[in-house]
Each structure stands twice: as C-alpha cells, then as structure tokens.
C-alpha cells in the first residue's frame, strides 16, 4: 500500500504534464554519455520542452484515458519523455536533430496534436519548420512586394530628370488645345457687330 501511495504523485505529475501537451515524444536514451545527455537536456530546455526519465509502469498508468494511450506499445526498455505545451513540432525537431549526432539516442514514437506516430512519422514531423521560422518566411513574403515597390519608387526619384521632362510635354499640349477654342469664339462676337452696319 505504501508503494502505491509513493507512485501516485509521480503518475499524477505525468498525467498533468501530458494533459495539455501539444506533443509528447518517447525516446530510448541508453548509451548516451553524460556530456551528451547534458547537452540534450540543455537544447530541450531552451526550446521550452520538458524532458524527464520515468519508469514505464508510471507512464503506462498516466497515459491511460488520454491521447497518449496510443503510445503504450512504445513503453519498452528505458524511456524518457519530451513534452511540449506550446510548439507541437519542437520535441520531434530537437530530438531527431540531436539523434543525428548521437547514434545512441533512439526515437521510439510520439503523439502530436492528438495523433500517434511511429519513429518514422516523428522523423517526418521533425522536418516541419518551427512556428517562428514559418512566421519569418510569411513576413518575408509579405515584405518582399513592399520592398520592391519602395526600390522602384526610389529609382524613379533618383531619375528625377526623366519624370520632369514628361511634365512640360503635358503642359504644352494644353494651350494648343485651347487656342482653337478662342479662335472660334472671336468670329462669333464679330458676326453680330457687322449685321447692324448693313
């Protein structure tokens, strides 16, 4: 009975962590050196990811009745769990990138936004850019037309001589059009003056 009471807070801690998680990724960390483990934890922490080693039995109890229940088949051998409540792709991205330099780290599977994936699926999710990268690209694509427009306007302003030469041409055209109208008005005024003279 005492053992069950000791396990309960740990199970509740895991359950609370995965409750609002955007993603949960399970890894086998066997074979990592202390230096590699320290570096991995640092990278995960900087990305806002919770990373802990739990016993499989504890995670088994905590995952039941949640979206993470689909991860129960992956709870074999030593397991560590990476949890993110903000960026759904961050755990997969950080872990898969780290696994390329540390062969001992093995991604088992994970849950992203309520959907379970195997190691291959998590590898594909790892290729998705971060939210910040996507926003940066979007902002860049929005700014590009504005920047190009500003560049063209600047070039036109620098070539002020070309635009000024066009303006007088338009101004000269106006008097030429008005001249015939004045010429037509003059004979109309003279006609009534000649009529009474006869």
Torsion, CA 31, CA 67, CA 51, CA 126, rounded to 10: 70
Q: Is residue 190 part of a domain?
A: no
pLDDT at 159: 78
Q: Indicate the DSSP class of residue 24.
A: E
Q: Is residue 74 part of a domain?
A: yes
Tell me what the pLDDT averaged over the chain comes to: 80
Which residue range(s) make up the domain with 40?
A: 2-128
pLDDT at 169: 47
pTM (predicted TM-score): 0.64
What confidence tens digit (pLDDT) does each residue in 158-191 have?
877 444 444 444 444 445 455 454 444 444 444 4
Give the E-state strand segments of the chain in sequence order.
23-28, 50-54, 79-84, 106-112, 115-118
Q: Is residue 156 part of a domain?
A: yes
The last residue of a domain, from among 84, 100, 128:
128
């Amino acid at each position: 009975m005492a053992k069950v009471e000791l396990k309960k807070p740990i199970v509740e801690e895991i359950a609370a962590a995965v409750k609002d998680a955007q993603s949960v990724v399970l890894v086998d960390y066997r074979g990592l050196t202390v230096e590699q483990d320290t570096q991995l934890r640092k990278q995960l922490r900087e990305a806002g990811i919770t990373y802990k080693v739990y016993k499989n039995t504890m995670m088994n109890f905590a995952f039941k009745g949640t979206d993470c229940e689909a991860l129960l088949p992956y709870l074999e051998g030593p397991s560590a769990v990476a949890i993110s409540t903000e960026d759904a792709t961050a755990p997969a991205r950080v872990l898969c990138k780290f696994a390329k330099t540390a062969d001992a780290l093995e991604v088992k599977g994970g849950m992203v936004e309520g959907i379970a994936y195997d190691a291959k699926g998590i590898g594909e999710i790892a290729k998705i850019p971060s939210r910040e990268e996507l926003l940066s690209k979007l902002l860049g694509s929005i700014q590009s037309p504005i920047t190009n427009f500003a560049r063209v306007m600047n070039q036109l302003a620098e070539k002020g001589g070309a635009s000024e030469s066009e303006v007088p041409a338009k101004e000269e055209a106006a008097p030429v059009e008005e001249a015939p109208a004045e010429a037509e008005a003059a004979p109309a005024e003279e006609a009534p003056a000649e009529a009474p003279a006869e």
